[in-house]
Chain A
Amino acid sequence: MNVLNSFALLANGEALDWNQIPEYSLSDFIRNVSEELELGARMVSFFALPEGSEKRLVAVLALDSSSVLCVSRSQPFSGSFPSLTPKYPEAHLFEREIYEQYGLLPLGHPWLKPVRKNLNVIQDPKNFFSVEGAEIHEVSVGPVHAGVIEPGHFRFQCDGEEVLHLEIALGYQHRGIEEALLGGPHRLSVYQIETIAGDTTIGHSSAYAQALEALAGVQAPLYALWVRAIALELERLANHTGDLGALANDVAFIPTSSACGKIRGDFLNLTALLCGNRFGRGMVRPGFSPIDCEPKRLALLSDRFEQTLRDALQAVGWFWDSASSRARFEQVGSVETSMAAKIGLVGLAARSCGLVRDVRFDHPTGWYRFAQVPLAVWPDGDVFSRAKVRWLEMQHSGEFLKEQFNSPPEPESAEKITRLAPDKLAVSLIEGWRGEICHVALTDSEGRFRRYKVTDPSFHNWMGLALALRNQAISDFPICNKSFNLSYCGFDL
């Protein structure tokens, strides 16, 4: 039997009737999902939801090369399910999350711990992997770190300077976003979506808008899609510029670090020129565009953008011209391509390991169906590679934006979305600056959210940082960490 028959197929940004999604007994469901993963599908989302007194599992997989997503669900059950993790490590955190959120036990999971809620269990020293031996020492850092940065707890098992193992414990930023969305959309929902990760406001609000449009059966006007693409690429440029500056700072290359700190702000100010807020709050709303950028403002935006982009490329260029700084990034914090694929890395971290993986390219929606951004991939998997991919993406997004500023579609009026269709499931992917953002929304018989599953790219990628540290000098942790620059709040929800 073709395994794909056991899944419902849909494209990114589409919705399906809940009862169109094939339903299998737990063991068949798990078998189908593993067969599909075996054939090369990628796990995009995997979560549980309550069904009467029992629970049900839902899996969303991506077939990137054919631009298709597939969904399947298990029949309701209770107790436990066979863990996919031993064979498909990319499932590891999803299964831990299912265990924490709904108490379903993934049997055979090699490292079963809560993810973000049960902090007492998460941060109990007993529950960390530890290496024994007379020469071994443990370094424990956080949750409060030395800089102005979010909280998280890191435990390094070290042999002298060398890190043998790093375990990352998160959850400190947990503020109950998924729970709050239940029964929504509420008046506050869109604001909570915008603040899942403040530096990815556009990414998450675009995923939300796209999901709601699919559930309401509404097409957003072209103008709204154009605004979203511009905002998304500006967000990427601001963050990549900031990250390259921060990386330069960590190897004490001050010219790039100083200039990028300021230029990042210049990009944020361009976002503010569009919507009044540096982080893009209020810029993206389901169904329409709250922004109408009149020609005069567009001309100003376009002028300032060219200047800012020139400044940014120049400032980062200084770094690439400095051989001794460049050398600090080479062969540090490497993740092998095969490992990156196994643990399901996404976004720039995946592309820096040579994986061709970008929602804008594999599952294009919105404006990206009409205008393409070239993919940036670099094979080495090290800090250098992650810096390089950012640098390439800055240039690509820069060229893309210059073109888009010249071709705004006509603003059209559109209705706000007031009602969502009942009993539908929508999958919405957006390539945020860190990588794939996935929102899966399921409505109940009243058209309210019965489940709203958010997966920030950081959810996939924190494991990448942990692996990048293996056999590295602990003093290289800062540059490894900055080269990923993952979100704590996006993970903690």
Chain B
Amino acid sequence: MLKMFGRSLKLRQVSAGGCNACEADINVLGTIGWDLGRFGIQYVASPRHADGLLVTGPVSKNMELALKKTYDAVSEPKIVIAVGACAISGGPFANHEQVRSGVDAILPVDLYIPGCPPHPLTILDGLLRLLNRLDKQT
């Protein structure tokens, strides 16, 4: 399946209860300094156009439904990438009753990218590794 996404991966980002720094460094990859598009990776507006989700935040209960609906709207096959300590395990908000303490509490996760927030390089590294494109580039 990942082979299929190797040359073109479209991701829908969903922010679910974090502090917005993860989103900020996800956005950075789209700027001219990084130009994520050259790797065939792009953030898209509609989940219908997406091959998967890039989720940040611990999944606040108030975002649970919206996240599930967005996931359901992505057609199969699809992947889920959890970006940041929050999305992995709840981060600084782990075990608060208002959150689900990580994306894998409600969705199957294919890739975890650690950091609080992860450096843009770390996110890029994760995405390229997932697509098995790191060796070819270096």
Binding site for B on A (CB under 8 A): 116-117, 119, 143-144, 146-151, 171-177, 179-180, 188, 191-192, 194-199, 201, 258-259, 261-262, 265, 278-279, 281, 487-489, 492
| Contact between chains at A148 and B21 (CB < 8 Å) | no
Q: Would you call B52 an interface residue if the criterion is a C-beta within 8 Å of the partner chain's C-beta atoms? A: no
| Contact between chains at B70 and A150 (CB < 8 Å) | no
Would you give 15 A-B contacts (Cβ < 8 Å), ordered by A?
A117-B98, A171-B62, A172-B17, A173-B63, A175-B57, A175-B58, A175-B96, A176-B99, A194-B92, A195-B91, A198-B21, A199-B21, A279-B21, A279-B24, A487-B20
| Contact between chains at A192 and B93 (CB < 8 Å) | yes
Q: Would you call B102 an interface residue if the criterion is a C-beta within 8 Å of the partner chain's C-beta atoms? A: no
Contacting residues, chain A, for B60 (C-beta < 8 A): 172-175, 492
| Contact between chains at B25 and A278 (CB < 8 Å) | yes
Chain A nearest CB from B100 CB (Å) reads: 10
Contacting residues, chain B, for A174 (C-beta < 8 A): 17, 60, 62, 98
Give complex CA distance A263, B62 in Å.
34
Q: Would you call B89 an interface residue if the criterion is a C-beta within 8 Å of the partner chain's C-beta atoms? A: no
| Contact between chains at A489 and B33 (CB < 8 Å) | no
Q: How many residue-residue contacts, CB under 8 A, span A and B?
A: 122
| Contact between chains at B96 and A180 (CB < 8 Å) | yes
Q: Would A262 and B31 be within 8 Å (CB), given that A148-B23, A172-B62 are in contact? A: yes
Give complex CA distance A455, B62 in Å.
20
Interface of A is mostly: loop
- Taking A188-B92, A198-B18 as known contacts, 5 extra A-B pairs with beta carbons closer than 8 A to each other, sorted by chain A number, are A143-B66, A146-B46, A175-B60, A198-B21, A261-B28
Q: How large is the interface on B (under 10, 10 to 19, 20 to 34, 35 or more residues)?
A: 35 or more
Q: Would A198 and B62 be within 8 Å (CB), given that A148-B43, A180-B96 are in contact? A: no
| Contact between chains at A176 and B66 (CB < 8 Å) | no
Give complex CA distance A171, B65 in Å.
13
| Contact between chains at B66 and A489 (CB < 8 Å) | no
Chain A nearest CB from B12 CB (Å) reads: 8
Give complex CA distance A14, B27 in Å.
39
| Contact between chains at B23 and A149 (CB < 8 Å) | yes
Q: Would you call B135 an interface residue if the criterion is a C-beta within 8 Å of the partner chain's C-beta atoms? A: no
| Contact between chains at B32 and A262 (CB < 8 Å) | yes
Contacting residues, chain B, for A192 (C-beta < 8 A): 92-93
| Contact between chains at B20 and A198 (CB < 8 Å) | yes
Give complex CA distance A176, B16 in Å.
14
Task: Please report which residues of chain B, range 1-52, place their CB below 8 angstroms from some CB of chain A when the two chains form the complex.
Answer: 13-28, 30-33, 43, 45-46
Contacting residues, chain A, for B45 (C-beta < 8 A): 146-147
Contacting residues, chain A, for B66 (C-beta < 8 A): 143-144, 151, 172
| Contact between chains at B93 and A175 (CB < 8 Å) | yes
Contacting residues, chain B, for A201 (C-beta < 8 A): 21
Q: Would you call B116 an interface residue if the criterion is a C-beta within 8 Å of the partner chain's C-beta atoms? A: yes
Give complex CA distance A27, B20 in Å.
41
| Contact between chains at A281 and B19 (CB < 8 Å) | no
Q: Would you call B133 an interface residue if the criterion is a C-beta within 8 Å of the partner chain's C-beta atoms? A: no
Q: Which residue of B lies closest to A246 (CB)?
A: B27
Give complex CA distance A201, B117 in Å.
12
| Contact between chains at A173 and B32 (CB < 8 Å) | no
Chain A nearest CB from B87 CB (Å) reads: 13
Q: Which residue of B lies closest to A190 (CB)?
A: B92
| Contact between chains at A197 and B31 (CB < 8 Å) | no
Contacting residues, chain A, for B13 (C-beta < 8 A): 148
Q: Write out, one digit per residue, whether chain B residues 106-121 have a CB within 8 A of any chain A CB (1) or not (0).
A: 0000000000110110
Contacting residues, chain B, for A195 (C-beta < 8 A): 18-19, 21, 91-93, 116
